Amino acid sequence: MRLLAILCAAICLSGCAQKLISGNEAGGMVSAGDNLLESRAGALQIADQHCSRFGKVARVSGEDPFAGTLSFDCVKP
């Protein structure tokens, strides 16, 4: 029963997780979760990790607090 409760909690919280929605060498979009203002730093970290694959850093190009997304460009440092 306890394992089932842990599994249900993990499934519910996975909907709030930050993740890369789409991206390429030029930039992309990160799902920042339910509260963009509180999770902006985490979303930017994901964007930076993505851009680092191309020897670049992330620069925020747009935010949609209603959709909970952060758009970014990959630029040379």
Under the banding of pLDDT at 50, 70 and 90, the label for residue 36 is low
pLDDT at 64 over 80: yes
Q: Is the pLDDT score of 28 beyond 90? A: yes
Residue 17 has a CB neighbour count (10 Å cut-off) of 10
CA dist 53 and 49 (Å) reads 7
Nearest to 49 by CA among 21, 26, 20: 20
The structural domains of the chain, with segments of one domain joined by +, span 17-75
Confidence of residue 35 (pLDDT cuts 50, 70, 90): low
Q: Rounded to two decimals, what is the model's pTM?
A: 0.72
Reading the block at residue 52, the tokens are 């680092």
In terms of Cα–Cα distance, which of 69, 57, 3, 73 is closest to 33? 69
As a whole number, mean pLDDT of residues 18-33 equals 89
Continuous H helices in the chain = 2-14, 36-52
